[in-house]
């Protein structure tokens, strides 16, 4: 579930980034959030 949300938010952030010319910043935010969610997902699964 978290992975689906992560992908959705990442795509949304990329679209916003292109509008604001902040692609690098938004990419870092998306990657950081995805990493955080995947670690949370691991904790919940165990």
How far apart CA 2 and CA 19 sit, in angstroms, is 26
Mean pLDDT to the nearest integer, 17-35: 67
Query: What is the pTM assigned to this prediction?
Result: 0.33
9: domain range? 2-45
Phi, psi dihedral angles at 32 (to 5 degrees):
-65, -45
Pairwise CA distance, residues 46 & 38, whole Å = 13
What is the total count of domains within the chain?
A: 1
Is the predicted pLDDT of residue 11 greater than 80, yes or no? yes
Is the per-residue pLDDT at 23 higher than 70?
A: no
Q: At what angle do helices 23-45 and 2-20 cross, to 10 degrees?
A: 170
Two structure tokens written together for 4:
């689906």
Integer Cα distance of 8 and 45 in angstroms: 21
């Amino acid at each position: 579930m978290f992975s689906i949300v992560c992908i959705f938010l990442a795509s949304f952030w990329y679209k916003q980034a292109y509008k604001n010319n902040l692609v690098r910043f938004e990419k870092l935010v998306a990657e950081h959030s995805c990493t955080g969610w995947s670690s949370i997902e691991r904790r919940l699964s165990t």
